Amino acid sequence: MASSVTRLPRLLALSGIGGALEFFDFVIFLFLAPVISKNFFPPDTPEWLADLHVLGIFAAGYVFRPLGGLIMAHFGDRSGRKQVFLFSILLMAFATTGIALIPSYSTAGWLAPILLVFLRMMQGAAIGGEAPGAWTFVAEHVAPRHLALACSFMSSSLIAGVLMASLVTMAVHSYFSPAAMLDYGWRVPFVVAGVLGLLGALLRRWLSETPVFLRAREQRAIAKRLPILIVLRSHWEAISISVVATWILSAVVIVTTLMTPLILQKQYHFDPQAALAISAFGSPFVCVGGICAGYVADRAGLGRYFMFASLPFATANYLFYSYVDPASGNVYLLYGLSSFFNGMVGAIPCFMVRAFPGSVRFTGISLSYNVTFAVFGGLTPVVIGALLPTSPLSHMYYLLAVAIGIFLLGAYAVVRPSAVRYRSARDENLAI
């Protein structure tokens, strides 16, 4: 017993560090969007159009998520979780380092944004296997009564990667002059991200295969048919639950975390340094809020917790986006409060982990999560970015709609508890 107690924190720590480093690689692009837009498009491009182009390239990463995620999930369900978990971070490190080496538009012309799109798609393929693999991996190492906490811990580690990206971006903006930042300084975070990605891969070599997969292999409960066909034929309720859960997760992460620096600059007239500082300030609250949410959800029940939590989520975001003001000192208080309650979506993946059986869990989560994230994750920043000039609070209205979705998802889990009953691979005969 003692060995398992010491091994579990180590496993969560190693998994979490790797996830944080990979998400750092993925989101650093968005934080540097204003600088990137000036390097990869003609100098006479209007600022708003260049920003929209860069957000479109950011969205391109989401387009490739489903394909990359499904390929990795297939091998994860058939050959094991660990090797896929390692491959995803190596692919991310390679693509991120490549972005650091791309020539600018002034040197390579239109080849520059084409290469940027290609490498961004590689990043998307890598991240497509990361989050589903991470939630599957950690959930299958813990007891069912700790599933929400394990999922929220992993989700919080991914948000920690966003915090790292914010801090590194702030550091390079402080160190380099605006001219140097535009010339070569923007490349430094991508170099750092690539190196850290390789470090994450080295750490993941120490992880062990999940007990659920090892037991499934011993009992010949590994699906012999294509896992995706099994999912599409037999698990539409689980897919539907996961689609709603992913929409909620994508909306909250993108609007309240990834787009916050841009929204604060464009709509509330914060300077770039202040906007990044506020974003960085909120990230620890998101992490703590996520872990607290997982702890409470494991004890109160997943459905009941999210029904209750939808109200403070809506209230906190309404207060922040309605009353934030550069001239006021309340911005940190309001953003810290909203970030804490936004963190509850860290436990949302527990719905997905519970909805699918072990033999097709990786594929089921990857299909639902990545396709939904490709649609909503890719379109959300573009649509909100286009609406902001004419509807300054469009982002807040969107989050209020998300609060309704959170309540309904929790209510469904209460009404149909069998839909989110955790199942191992041996619970269904899928091997034939």
| Residues 237-269 pLDDT 10s | 999 999 999 999 999 988 888 788 888 887 888
Q: Identity (one letter) of the amino acid at 406?
A: I
C-alpha to C-alpha distance for 400 and 196, rounded to whole angstroms: 36
- Residue-wise pLDDT tens digits, 323-357: 888 877 788 999 999 999 999 999 999 999 999 99
pLDDT confidence of residue 426? 47
Reported as a pLDDT band with limits 50, 70 and 90, residue 192 is confident
Is pLDDT above 60 for 297?
yes
C-alpha to C-alpha distance for 244 and 247, rounded to whole angstroms: 5
Is pLDDT above 90 for 199?
no
Where is average pLDDT lowest: 133-147, 292-306, 323-337, 382-396? 382-396
Is pLDDT above 50 for 2?
no
pLDDT confidence of residue 334? 93
- Residue-wise pLDDT tens digits, 43-93: 776 766 766 777 777 777 777 888 899 999 999 998 889 888 888 889 988
pLDDT confidence of residue 224? 74
DSSP output for 320-357: HHHH--TTSTTHHHHHHHHHHHHGGGGGTHHHHHHHS-
Is pLDDT above 90 for 108?
no
Is pLDDT above 70 for 290?
yes
- Helix then strand count (H, E) for the chain reads 21, 0
Domains annotated on the chain, with CATH: 2-427 (1.20.1250.20)
Residue whose structure tokens are 């309540």: 407
117 is written with which tokens?
Answer: 């799109």
Burial grade of 145 (CB within 10 A; 0-12, 13-18, 19 or more): exposed
Q: Which residue, among 330, 323, 327, 317, has the nearest Cα to 398 in the 3D structure?
A: 317
Is pLDDT above 70 for 431?
no
Which residues have CB under 8 Å from 97's CB, separation 6+?
A: 190, 191, 193, 194, 195, 197
Q: Identity (one letter) of the amino acid at 333?
A: L
Where is average pLDDT lowest: 32-41, 298-307, 341-350, 365-374? 32-41
Q: CB count, 10 Å around CB of 426?
A: 18
Q: In this prediction, what percent of the chain has a pLDDT beyond 70?
A: 94
Reported as a pLDDT band with limits 50, 70 and 90, residue 423 is low
289 is written with which tokens?
Answer: 């809020």
Reported as a pLDDT band with limits 50, 70 and 90, residue 198 is confident
CA dihedral for 286, 252, 346, 12, sign (positive or negative): negative
14 is written with which tokens?
Answer: 């190693």
Q: Where are the beta strands (DSSP E) in 113-231?
A: none
Q: Identity (one letter) of the amino acid at 50?
A: A
Q: Identity (one letter) of the amino acid at 241?
A: I
Is pLDDT above 50 for 140?
yes
Is pLDDT above 90 for 400?
yes
Q: Which residue has the higher pLDDT, 154 or 28?
A: 154
Is pLDDT above 70 for 430?
no
Reported as a pLDDT band with limits 50, 70 and 90, residue 391 is confident
pLDDT confidence of residue 311? 97
- Contact criterion met (CB below 8 Å) for 380 and 255: yes
Can you tell me the mean pLDDT for 132-136? 90
Can you tell me the mean pLDDT for 261-278? 83
Q: Which residue has the higher pLDDT, 187 or 219?
A: 187
pLDDT confidence of residue 7? 67
Q: Which residue has the higher pLDDT, 87 or 15?
A: 87
Is pLDDT above 70 for 429?
no
Residue whose structure tokens are 């719905």: 351
Is pLDDT above 60 for 425?
no
Is pLDDT above 90 for 402?
yes
- Contact criterion met (CB below 8 Å) for 250 and 380: yes
Q: Output the average pLDDT for the chain.
A: 85
pLDDT confidence of residue 14? 77
Any idea how long the chain is? 432
Can you tell me the mean pLDDT for 115-123? 88
